[in-house]
Amino acid sequence: MISLFQIAVVVLGALTTLIMADHQATSFAYYHPIFHHTEHHGHDYYSPPKYEFKYGVHDPHTKDEKNQWEKRHEDVVHGGYSFVQPDGRIRKVTYTSDKHNGFNAHVHYEHHAQHPQHYGHHYNQDS
């Protein structure tokens, strides 16, 4: 048997559906036409890449010494850097990069390595 409560739930659900059908959400995007701006004023904002920079650090307190420089004109980059290694040698790297040859680096060193003197103790195992 169908109870009075079940009938009330069905009727209430039907009434809610009818009432809410009148209050649908509307989208205003449908009412706004889309405009495409195709006019070109002749401005070309592309310019070939070109830059140049260099910097260096020379700190006598920490003995930190390094330099870097680089310049680019269109698709060709030239640059280099140098720094003092812990053994006292100066490592100098120069590089070039372009679309035909890729990245090429050349490394060379100045000065000779200066290794600290170690005064160790030799223990005689026979004594």
Residue at token pair 């260099």: 54
The pTM assigned to this predicted structure is: 0.54
Query: Would you say 99 and 78 are in contact if contact means Cβ atoms under 8 Å apart?
Result: no
Q: Which secondary-structure segment (H or E) carries 6?
A: helix 4-21
Residue numbers of the chain with a pLDDT score lower than 50: none
42-70 pLDDT, tens digit per residue, is 777 788 899 999 999 999 998 889 999 99
Instruction: For the chain, give every domain's residue range.
Output: 50-110
> Which H or E run contains 86?
none
Q: Which residues pair with 109 in a beta bridge?
A: 91
